[in-house]
Each structure stands twice: as C-alpha cells, then as structure tokens.
Amino acid sequence: MENPSRVGKYDVEKYLGGSMARVYRAKDSVLGRRVALKILSESGMADPEAKQRFLQEARVASSIRHENIVGVYDFGEDQGRPYIVMEFVEGESLRDAIRNKHLGDLRSRLKIALPIAGAVDHIHTRKIIHRDLKPDNIHINAEGKALLMDFGIAKAEGVQLTKVGFTLGTPYYMPPEQVLGKPLTPQADVYAFRILLY
C-alpha cells in the first residue's frame, strides 16, 4: 500500500507505523488541526473479520469520552477503504518510556498508573473490555499525561466478533481465560493492569 497524500479532507504528512491498519500523522484541511489517521491496510481489507473489527473499533472508541483516553474525531471511507481519525498525541508510548528510563520515581509512575486505572474503570462502566492493555497501548504525552488507546480488539456488550476458540490479545498480558479463548469479564483488564503495574 502506497502512502496516500490525502484521505477525505485530511492531508497526510507522515507514516507512523502499523500492519493491519496503517497510522499517519495528518492535518485536517478544514479545521487546521493535526490528527492521527488510521487506515485499514490492503491485507485488512481482504479479511472480512479484520474489516468488521476495524468498524467495531471506530464505533466503540468514538462512544467513549474520558480525559485519559485518546479521542476519536471522525470515521469514514475513502475510495472504499475505511479510516478512523483520532486525537494526535506528541510524546511516547509507555513501552518506549520504560525502555528509555523516562518513568522517574514512584510518584511519577503513579501519575501514569492511576489515570489509566480511571480510564479502564470508565470503559468498564460502559460495559467495554479493552482486552489488550499493554505498554504499547498507553501513550504519555509531552506534558506527562497518560492516555489509553487502541480499541482494536475491545469487546463491547452484545458484540461477538471473535470466533469460538480463537484468541486475540498480547500473550504476556492475557489472563488464562483469554489465552484459552473463554468468555471474558472486566477482570481480564484488571489482570493485565496488574502486570502493567509490575
């Protein structure tokens, strides 16, 4: 997939990464603000379940409003390819912060952990299970604010996309029931959060 120069009203500026979905820094040509533009890749388009999951991510993420969750601004299709427009956040992932020893003392670490716990609690009150809490899905912005992101495999009440016996997630952070492909409760996120704290 070649990097597009424009998607809808968004001017693409820089490729940021991704596989099944590619993420770009872009600029809203109407409002003038920088955004993160997530576009389903060709391989994702070829997989009906991946496409459904992408659409579900847009619906779930756009229904959530919380100061420690990356906001979703827009969703649409351009030349038959779906995209999600999100808040663009400067800074680094928690994974990079750990690797680069940017976490600081215990007080600084709690300033990351407690807001993320609040974000997870908020989605649980909305009957959403994130299912992929890990350092890569927590972003720390330039001011040190922690933000939860990536609802690509989140599970909303009443929605069943994963096949029975099929497992999604990141093995090191998954509770046993998720590894075994069993039904999940919000406790799956609590388990992953405890590993994050460790």
d(CA 72, CA 150): 11
- Choose the catalytic residue: 11, 47, 78, 132: 132
Tokens 């952990």, residue? 113
Distances in Å between the alpha carbon of 50 and those of 127, 137, 172? 22, 19, 22
Residue 59 token pair: 């619906």
| Residue 47 falls in the annotated catalytic set | no
- Helix (H/G/I), strand (E/B), else coil: 31: coil
Tokens 């003038």, residue? 32
Active-site amino acid positions: 132
